[in-house]
Amino acid sequence: MSQMHRQTTTDVLNVTEALRLASEQPASLRQKLSDLHVAEIAALIIDCRDDEQRRRLIELIDEERLGDVLLQLPEAMQEDLLAFFQPSDIEEIVEHLDSDDAADLLQAVDKPVADVVIDRLEPEERRGLAPLLEHDEESAGGLMQAELFKVRDDWTVDTVLKVLRRWGREIENLNYIYVVDDDDRLTGVLPLYQLLLSEPDQRISAIQDTEFPRAVAGQDQEEVAKMFEKYDVLALPVIDEQGLLIGRITADDVIDVIHEEATEDMYRLAALSDEDDLAEPVLTTARRRGLWLMVNLGTAIAASIVISQFESTIANLVALAVLMPIVASMGGIAGTQTLTVIVRGIALGRVTFANARRALIKEVSVSMVSGLLFAVVIGIVATFWFPEVGVKLGLVIAAAMMINLFAAGLAGAVIPLTLQRLHIDPALASGTILTTITDIVGFFSFLGLATLFLL
Amino acid sequence: MSQMHRQTTTDVLNVTEALRLASEQPASLRQKLSDLHVAEIAALIIDCRDDEQRRRLIELIDEERLGDVLLQLPEAMQEDLLAFFQPSDIEEIVEHLDSDDAADLLQAVDKPVADVVIDRLEPEERRGLAPLLEHDEESAGGLMQAELFKVRDDWTVDTVLKVLRRWGREIENLNYIYVVDDDDRLTGVLPLYQLLLSEPDQRISAIQDTEFPRAVAGQDQEEVAKMFEKYDVLALPVIDEQGLLIGRITADDVIDVIHEEATEDMYRLAALSDEDDLAEPVLTTARRRGLWLMVNLGTAIAASIVISQFESTIANLVALAVLMPIVASMGGIAGTQTLTVIVRGIALGRVTFANARRALIKEVSVSMVSGLLFAVVIGIVATFWFPEVGVKLGLVIAAAMMINLFAAGLAGAVIPLTLQRLHIDPALASGTILTTITDIVGFFSFLGLATLFLL
């Protein structure tokens, strides 16, 4: 990841102004863009109306920063814009990026074009990139960068300082020195400041931290993020299956991962695809969301089939049609509360295999307490609202409320815990399954009890 | 934040085993605990059945690590456990912590006890703590630590290296050197590796990065997190209103903030208090959630009042009671999709004042496309399901579906954008407002159109 330290300028350029300058005074816009932070340029590009406008601005961005700007755009937009570039242009962009960023950018390019670009690169750069492209984008290997400062464990502090002065300039965020043995196997890590505090003739093997945590290339990025939290480190070395040092991951890359994972969970809980993107075309979004809406339509129809079994009951007592959505709605909300707490608890590592049973008992207990409370409240409301049916209606809705809130608490905890046990993302589809259960249990218990006791 | 580099041991101690050892072989448990990572000890303590069990384990934790362990527990549990400690014990715990962690811990202690502890501290420690306790826990000032490495801008590289060798040992994660002028005003920042690459006689003022970003003490922690992402740095200096250097924030502290903020948004979207905690007692949780359930009960009753206006329509045509939840449910899901995308977009800085209008238009367009599609589907389903009413019922439910999905898209975007404009957290209560709208619009449009065209 590149570092750009310039502070936000006070008068930020807006899109209209930028596009005007692009036509009338391109040189002045080029100058203005070079004064902006990459994140600000990216915001301008996102704000354009269409790709044609975007390309007019992109033409005026400094070549060295174009890659960093593109990487800040939503993935779909990256892909669309990169489709307009020649392999030679992409090659130049890639040359200005760190290996992890270069790999990310190439993954947004059509495979055949990416292959042409990789073939055109200098052998040295190609060697750095190849292992990164091998790994899954969401693994430690996909997250790491190849640029790091590596020393042999039999060197002295003095040797390392000399090598550092000669070669260190090319590495950003150089805060840890990675120590390897003859076979390039990681033996330990040395924080840079430790080096400064040590005597020149000390051997690195004597001062390295051999217990420093390390990530393995195949590890999921979510696990890597958890290691950063657990050990409070600013960077982690990445090793392959043989223990060879192949890269490092810095905390700033992990911040992006944490955002991504939280967004994914939030989106999945809301019946959204995690690829849903504000910047993509209306029809693409409508199609993605339509899939989940279609699933919900199916479950809503299932709930309606339950209601239709009680048509004659409702015909006899229309008050039931008035009240039934209350029972279903309260179950949906209470169940979503439990579901969200459990899904988030699993994501943060607070709910584990060991304490899952306790979490389940707690959530069901809460739902029984709420059930009791809201049974009383809704029972009283219903009794006074429909005095012609009176206390019997109140008792029926109270019982249905207790049953449905109990089902909500149970389902809200059991669904994500079960998905987790099956190695499926606990957020995935759990909201839809939950409301299906609370709707069906809500309608069935209320209308069923009414059929038994009120007719 | 402290660094603990030990790797996870392969055979992790479980609670039952730990409690058995606590009674039978306390010395052996003390040894085992000292081999564990603080996060692992915290997990053991969370897993205990009650505070009595917890205290039996806490007694056997090394004094130097007890503070770090306590800080990993849920806040409510911290407070409960700290209530059993004497001020002298708390003082000893605090002495082993960095200033930011000490301040956090003291905020979990009863105010009078905390005051006693602060009075007992060495004057030097008290001086480091006082400014931290002044700031809001969720501001840059509340997040920062006082320990940092500070040099004068007129020193040479050689002087700095000498001072660093003498004093640097006490500071963890020393990756940046902070440069101040005569008045202690921050003039710039110098990455440690830059120091190594510079000539011994160079002046710091000549090599410092004067444009390095900085946080102001009063800034909200969410803004601070955004600065880390924007500038890809591993630490930020914190200045006060006068520009004086008062602390630094490291990336590992920000990772916690990012988790917290994401949890807060997720919880608020699910009608949960952000203080909801798996570890707190059932009745506390039931009370917190009950507040939101009560709000939902109110809005559900409002929706039922809408239905009750159409009692005679339903009595004439019970099919309406069967179908009406489908219209309401689809509106709720589609609206939640939009709401989640907008709330998350605001949180990540993707939806801004400048592009809010575009996001609104996009979301409403998506909802119209979905409305059209699902109007056709549900129209056909209803027509064949209730052939005695037939195509007229299909047309009515199709129209209601279009109206409700349009309202869902509009409300899902307008509610969070409006809350944001009013400087209220866009996630707060927005889910409840949304489903109130989609329920009421859904029932009213469907039953209203049915009354007009089907009777």
> Cβ separation of A165 and B377 shorter than 8 Å?
no
> From residue B382, how far is each of A274, A381, A447, B364, B398 by CA, in Å?
32, 33, 22, 26, 9
Confidence (pLDDT) at B239: 95
Contacts of B297 in chain A (CB under 8 A): 326, 330, 374, 377-378
Confidence (pLDDT) at B403: 98
Nearest CA in chain A to B360: A278
Same domain, A344 and A436: yes
> Cβ separation of A270 and B339 shorter than 8 Å?
yes
Task: Give kind and range of the element (H or E) at residue B179.
Answer: strand B176-180
The mean pLDDT of B329-358, rounded to a whole number, is 91
> Cβ separation of B252 and A230 shorter than 8 Å?
no
Length of chain B (residues): 455
A86, with CB counted inside 10 A (0-12, 13-18, 19+), is exposed
**A232 inside domain:** yes
Task: Tell me the nearest-neighbour CA distance from B121 into chain A, angstroms.
Answer: 27
- CATH number, domain of A218, equals 3.10.580.10
Contacts of B381 in chain A (CB under 8 A): 301
Same domain, B44 and B102: yes
pLDDT band with cut points at 50, 70 and 90 for residue B46: confident
Nearest CA in chain A to B335: A270
- CATH number, domain of A376, equals 1.10.357.20
> Cβ separation of A300 and B326 shorter than 8 Å?
yes
Q: Give me the residue from B196, B311, B354 closest to A47, CB to CB.
A: B354
B423, with CB counted inside 10 A (0-12, 13-18, 19+), is exposed
**How many whole angstroms separate alpha carbon A383 and alpha carbon A429?**
37
The number of C-beta contacts closer than 8 angstroms across A and B is: 345
State both tokens at A163: 């090598």
**B385 inside domain:** yes
Task: Tell me the nearest-neighbour CA distance from A27 into chain B, angstroms.
Answer: 25
The residue among A100 and B323 whose pLDDT is bigger is: B323
Nearest CA in chain B to A161: B196
Q: Tokens 């505070």 identify what position?
A: B51
Number of domains forming the structure of chain B: 3
* CA-based R_g, chain A, Å: 30
> From residue A201, how far is each of A152, A158, B174, B375 by CA, in Å?
14, 6, 22, 79
ipTM confidence score: 0.81
A266: closest CA among B244, B438, B275, B345? B345
Strand B176-180 relative to strand A215-216, pairing: unpaired
Query: Of A341-345, B158-162, B172-176, where does mean pLDDT reach its minimum?
Result: B172-176
Task: Give kind and range of the element (H or E) at residue B188.
Answer: strand B186-191
Which one of A269, A304, A337 terminates a domain? A269
Helix intervals (H) in B25-62: 26-35, 38-47, 51-58
Contacts of A193 in chain B (CB under 8 A): 164, 168, 171, 174-175, 192
Same domain, A294 and A369: yes
Contacts of A309 in chain B (CB under 8 A): none
Sign of CA dihedral A260, A265, A270, A272: positive
Same domain, A132 and A155: no
Q: Give me the residue from B37, B270, B374 closest to A336, CB to CB.
A: B270
Mutating which of B285, B324, B329 best tests the A interface, going by the most A Cβ atoms within 10 A?
B329
Give the number of other CB atoms < 10 A from CB of residue A387: 9
Residues of chain B with pLDDT > 90, as a percent, come to 55
> Cβ separation of B7 and A213 shorter than 8 Å?
yes
Do the beta carbons of residue B223 and residue B261 sit within 8 Å? no
Chain centroid offset of residue A349 CA: 15
Task: Tell me the nearest-neighbour CA distance from A119 into chain B, angstroms.
Answer: 30
pLDDT digit string, tens, across residues B363-420 = 999 999 999 999 999 999 999 999 999 899 999 999 999 999 999 999 999 999 999 9
> Cβ separation of A290 and B435 shorter than 8 Å?
no
Strand A215-216 relative to strand B186-191, pairing: unpaired
Chain centroid offset of residue B338 CA: 21
B39: closest CA among B10, B3, B75? B3
Do the beta carbons of residue A330 and residue A445 sit within 8 Å? no
Same domain, B333 and B383: yes
pTM for the predicted model, two decimal places: 0.80
**How many whole angstroms separate alpha carbon B128 and alpha carbon B123?**
9
Nearest CA in chain A to B312: A318
Mutating which of A44, A317, A341 best tests the B interface, going by the most B Cβ atoms within 10 A?
A341
Q: Give me the residue from B173, B300, B315 closest to A326, CB to CB.
A: B300
Confidence (pLDDT) at B226: 86
Same domain, A349 and A382: yes
Confidence (pLDDT) at A124: 77
Confidence (pLDDT) at B409: 97
Contacts of A197 in chain B (CB under 8 A): 164-165, 168-169
Contacts of A39 in chain B (CB under 8 A): 230
**A145 inside domain:** no
Q: Give me the residue from A228, A292, A322 closest to B308, CB to CB.
A: A322
pLDDT, mean over chain B: 89
Q: Give me the residue from B5, B369, B370 closest to A231, CB to CB.
A: B5
> Cβ separation of A196 and B164 shorter than 8 Å?
yes
pLDDT digit string, tens, across residues B237-294 = 999 999 999 999 988 888 888 988 899 999 999 999 988 888 888 999 999 999 999 9
Mutating which of B221, B320, B337, B405 best tests the A interface, going by the most A Cβ atoms within 10 A?
B337
Same domain, B334 and B400: yes
* pLDDT above 70: residue B7: no
pLDDT tens for chain A, residues 1 to 455: 344 444 444 456 788 889 999 999 999 999 989 888 887 888 888 888 888 899 999 999 998 889 989 988 877 788 888 888 888 888 888 888 888 888 888 888 888 888 888 888 888 777 777 777 788 888 999 899 888 899 999 999 999 988 888 877 777 778 899 999 989 999 999 998 888 888 889 999 999 999 999 999 999 998 899 888 888 888 999 999 999 999 999 888 888 889 888 999 999 999 999 888 888 889 999 999 999 999 999 999 999 999 999 999 999 999 999 999 999 999 999 999 999 999 999 988 888 877 888 899 999 999 999 999 999 999 999 999 999 998 999 999 999 999 999 999 999 999 999 999 999 999 988 999 999 999 999 999 999 999 999 98
Confidence (pLDDT) at B406: 98
Secondary structure percentages of chain A, helix, strand, coil, to 5: 65, 10, 25
**B34 inside domain:** yes
Q: Give me the residue from A5, A266, A443 closest to B231, CB to CB.
A: A5
* CA-based R_g, chain B, Å: 30
State both tokens at A396: 């029926």
State both tokens at B31: 């040894």
Q: Give me the residue from A301, A340, A359 closest to B326, CB to CB.
A: A301
A266's CB contacts (< 8 A; 6+ apart) are B262, B265, B266, B269, B340, B344
- CATH number, domain of B22, equals 1.25.60.10
> Cβ separation of A255 and B228 shorter than 8 Å?
yes
Task: Tell me the nearest-neighbour CA distance from B391 into chain A, angstroms.
Answer: 18
Contacts of B228 in chain A (CB under 8 A): 252, 255
Coil/strand/helix, residue B108? coil
Planar angle of CA B119, B123, B127, nearest 5 degrees? 95
> Cβ separation of A355 and B46 shorter than 8 Å?
yes
Nearest CA in chain A to B386: A308
State both tokens at B409: 């898209």
DSSP letters along B197-266, please? TS-TT-BHHHHSBTT---EETTSBHHHHHHHHHHHT-SEEEEE-TT-BEEEEEEHHHHHHHHHHHHHHHH
Which one of A248, A269, A290 terminates a domain? A269
B112, with CB counted inside 10 A (0-12, 13-18, 19+), is exposed
B155's CB contacts (< 8 A; 6+ apart) are B163, B203, B204
> Cβ separation of A325 and B328 shorter than 8 Å?
yes
Which one of A137, A170, A199 terminates a domain? A137
Q: Give me the residue from A197, A269, A325 closest to B169, CB to CB.
A: A197
Length of chain A (residues): 455
Task: Tell me the nearest-neighbour CA distance from B13 into chain A, angstroms.
Answer: 11
Confidence (pLDDT) at A38: 84
| Sheet of strand A150-152, all strands in order from the earlier edge strand to the far edge | A150-152, A176-180, A186-191
Same domain, A97 and A199: no
Contacts of A365 in chain B (CB under 8 A): 282
**A365 inside domain:** yes
Nearest CA in chain B to A263: B344
State both tokens at A261: 């994972």
Task: Tell me the nearest-neighbour CA distance from A413 into chain B, angstroms.
Answer: 12
pLDDT band with cut points at 50, 70 and 90 for residue B12: low
> Cβ separation of A370 and B311 shorter than 8 Å?
no
Same domain, A112 and A203: no
**B209 inside domain:** yes
**B262 inside domain:** no
Q: Which domain holds residue A133?
A: 15-137
> Cβ separation of B328 and A326 shorter than 8 Å?
no
Q: Tokens 């993605």 identify what position?
A: A288
Same domain, B448 and B335: yes
Q: Give me the residue from B252, B296, B304 closest to A232, CB to CB.
A: B252
> Cβ separation of A175 and B193 shorter than 8 Å?
yes
Task: Tell me the nearest-neighbour CA distance from A134 into chain B, angstroms.
Answer: 25
**How many whole angstroms separate alpha carbon A132 and alpha carbon A247?**
9
Same domain, A67 and A177: no
**B312 inside domain:** yes
> From residue B24, how far is each of B19, B20, B29, B56, B344 by CA, in Å?
9, 6, 9, 12, 52
Contacts of B7 in chain A (CB under 8 A): 211, 213
Same domain, A126 and A100: yes
Q: Give me the residue from A174, A234, A320 closest to B173, CB to CB.
A: A234
State both tokens at A206: 């004597």
* pLDDT above 60: residue B84: yes
Confidence (pLDDT) at A440: 97
Q: Give me the residue from A1, A282, A307 closest to B321, CB to CB.
A: A307
